[in-house]
Amino acid sequence: MTKFAPRLTARLIHQFLESSAALHPEQIAVVHQGEAVSYRELNWRSNRFAHWLIDNGIAPGDRVPFIMENGIDYVTVYYGILKAGAVAVPLSTDLKPASLRPLLEELAPSAFVATSRFERLLKATDYPWPLLVIGNPKLAWQALSVQVAALDEIVRTPSSESDTPKLDLDANRLASIIYTSGSTGKPKGVMLSHRNIVDNANAICDYLELTARDIQMAVLPFFYVMGKSLLNTHVAAGGRVVINNKFAYPAAVVQEMATAEVTGFSGVPSTYAYLLHRSPLAKYRDRLPALRYCSQAGGHMSAHIKQELLRILPSHTRLFIMYGATEAAARLTYLPPEHIRVKMESIGIAIPGVTMKVLDKQGNNLPTGQVGEIVGAGSNIMMGYWKNPEATAKALDAHGYHTGDIGYCDAEGFFYLVGRRDNQLKIKGHRINPQEVEDALAASGLVIESVVLGIPDDLQSYRLAALAVPRSECCHQQKIRHLLSEMLPTYKIPHEIKFCRNLPMNANGKIDRQKCLAIMTANPKQL
């Protein structure tokens, strides 16, 4: 194993910050919109917030949800909640009152934190707030008899309470509840302990070889488990996180990657699809000498996009393909870059500290090459789902975490996915894996990204359809269907292909298949 710059041992998540503040006090920890904060200052701010929570009655184990866009205040609040011994519950910035209220009733929070942008959302939710902390409150709350404090005053006002609160916290206690996207049903609150997150973060630091010299550009939201993993790993390594919340303008993102001299960039499949086709990434190839790696997780990325990235990225930039789940505190496997060209479709090998298996329906280990369910085990696997014992029992057993993904392991220990247990389509008697058709659409070179769906049909139960983002306005579905006919049997070619500018995404940056289906069925005309 490669030797890295020393890191102090952390048992608790917030000790990542405390250790880096001790080792690299003046190192810049986070940069956002021209503001930079050192590890010393970030640790002080988090301590101030932790003391304020404790002074206002927040006790270890209390849930403190927060809804904030990525920024320095987000990082301050996250580590401050943990330092107070409370449970950090990051919530999606896309929530509406009707979806926020049930989560609050399930969590029974002792306090709630938000930036000013979400103040109207909180009022519209009509919840009996116990204690609100808002960045810089602008609305009148007095009539509602709610105690409201200004986050700006708490964390930016000089205070004698700059030491870490002295609490006896166990590494196995609940640290965070992260809600799944809920695109296929009610969101589930994944319970992660300090040990879950710390062990997973340390494993990622090792295989990515992160050091205090690393600079990560964060475009993924921190409330998403992958975004939170980027934050924790770089704070653990004493590196720098450059926050960019403007991925809607990918050209500006690439430009900042060059000027900030980032060493690492991470994204989901759509992130890279848009970087390839709607940004000047190729032109910046010689202007990214510091970019030593890119990493991808958050779902399957087609071989076509991987090949394009290998062609366009600087020759020294290593591409890591990764696989995981919120239930695994982020990561289960990674594909070492030196194997990517010969193992293009693989999700790689188990990360340090994780054991991966392929099991049949009876829970028996399957031999090399046989297809079954992918199951992972390790100290990173969740404690269960918050107030949902039925879902917990389905996902966890003596074997570990049942991912719901179907795949196999080759003779060299590399894992491959062939689909999801619940995502197969049956069209005219044929079972079809949508991923195969989506890969073919990407390989056509005519679309940026796509989603393949089964549309209800009176004559044949379902018909195959695709919603796609075309690379140019002159793209026609007849041409795409012709190219697909050279790669796929007739029954796997979508009966109809509709175009849109962007595919609907859920809060985690993954394609929202339910919204795509609603678009396909609500409007029979070409989009």
Q: Tell me, what's the pLDDT at 429?
A: 60
Distance CA 496, CA 521 (A): 12
Element (H, E) at 427: strand 425-427
Q: Tell me, what's the pLDDT at 3?
A: 41
pTM for the structure as a whole: 0.87
The predicted-structure confidence for 448-483, as pLDDT tens digits, reads as follows: 999 998 887 665 567 889 999 998 888 888 889 989
Q: Tell me, what's the pLDDT at 513?
A: 84
| Reported CATH class of domain 14-19+37-169 | alpha beta
- Amino acid residing at 434: P
Distance CA 72, CA 29 (A): 9
Distance CA 107, CA 111 (A): 11
Give the closest residue to 292 by CA, choosing from 267, 318, 272.
318
Pair 78, 227: CB distance under 8 Å? no
- Which 8-state DSSP code applies to residue 351? P
Q: And the tokens for 176?
A: 């965070």
The predicted-structure confidence for 391-408, as pLDDT tens digits, reads as follows: 999 999 999 999 999 999
Q: And the tokens for 8?
A: 């102090």
Q: Tell me, what's the pLDDT at 524?
A: 46
- Which 8-state DSSP code applies to residue 121? H
Asked, colleague to colleague, whether 194-380+402-420 and 425-522 share their fold, the answer is no
- Which 8-state DSSP code applies to residue 218? E
Pair 469, 503: CB distance under 8 Å? yes
Strand partners, 485: none
Quickly count: other Cβ atoms within 10 Å of residue 511's Cβ. 21
Q: Tell me, what's the pLDDT at 525?
A: 44
Please state whether beta strands 264-267 and 215-218 pair in parallel, antiparallel, or not at all (unpaired). Answer: parallel
Tokens 């028996």 identify what position?
Answer: 364
Q: And the tokens for 143?
A: 């009539």
CATH architecture of 425-522: 2-Layer Sandwich (3.30)
Q: Which residues of the chain have pLDDT under 50?
A: 1-5, 183, 524-527
Considering the domain 194-380+402-420 in this protein, what is its CATH number? 3.40.50.12780
Domain positions in the chain are 14-19+37-169, 194-380+402-420, 425-522
The predicted-structure confidence for 342-378, as pLDDT tens digits, reads as follows: 999 999 999 999 999 999 999 999 999 999 999 999 9
The DSSP secondary structure of 450-503, one letter per residue, reads: EEEEEEEETTTEEEEEEEEEESSTT--HHHHHHHHHTTS-GGGS-SEEEE-SS-
Q: Tell me, what's the pLDDT at 123?
A: 92
